[in-house]
C-alpha cells in the first residue's frame, strides 16, 4: 500500500523514481554514467536522493528515449546543445540590457520566461 504523496520539492529515492517512470533502478544508475547533468545527492552507503531538477531531467530522458525514439547518444547531444543555446541566450540578453533601460529589462525578462517555458 503506497504511502502519502510527497511534496513537489521533496527528495526522491532511486526506488521511488524508478517506480514512477517504470524503469529498473539499474537503468537510473546507468543514466548517471551517461549524462553528467544527472547528479543526485549521495549519502552514506551510496544512497541516492533525487532533487526536483534531477526528477525533471530523468523524466525528460525517459520520454526522449522511450517515446520520441532518441538514442542515448542523441539525448546527450540534445542536452549539450540546449545548454549551449541557453547560455548564449542568457549572455546575449544580459549584454544588451543596460541598467535602467526599461525596454532592455523587459527583453531580458521575456527571454528568461521563454527559456523557462522551454525547460518545462
Burial of 3 (0-12, 13-18, 19+ CB in 10 A): exposed
Higher pLDDT, 106 or 15: 15
What's the pTM?
A: 0.67
> What integer best gives the mean pLDDT of the chain?
84
Q: What is the pLDDT of residue 107?
A: 75
Task: Give residue-wise pLDDT tens across range 12-53.
Answer: 999 999 999 999 999 999 999 999 999 999 998 889 999 999
CA distance 81 to 101: 31
Q: What is the pLDDT of residue 109?
A: 79
Amino acid at each position: 500500500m503506497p504511502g502519502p504523496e510527497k511534496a513537489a520539492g521533496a527528495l526522491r529515492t532511486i526506488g521511488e523514481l524508478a517506480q514512477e517512470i517504470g524503469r529498473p533502478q539499474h537503468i537510473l544508475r546507468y543514466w548517471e554514467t551517461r549524462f553528467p547533468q544527472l547528479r543526485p545527492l549521495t549519502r552514506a552507503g551510496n544512497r541516492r536522493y533525487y532533487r526536483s531538477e534531477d526528477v525533471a531531467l530523468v523524466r525528460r530522458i525517459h520520454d526522449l528515449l522511450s517515446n520520441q525514439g532518441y538514442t542515448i547518444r542523441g539525448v546527450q547531444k540534445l542536452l549539450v546543445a540546449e545548454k549551449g543555446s541557453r547560455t548564449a541566450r542568457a549572455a546575449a540578453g544580459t549584454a544588451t540590457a543596460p541598467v535602467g533601460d526599461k525596454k532592455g529589462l523587459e527583453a531580458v525578462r521575456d527571454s528568461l520566461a521563454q527559456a523557462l517555458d522551454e525547460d518545462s
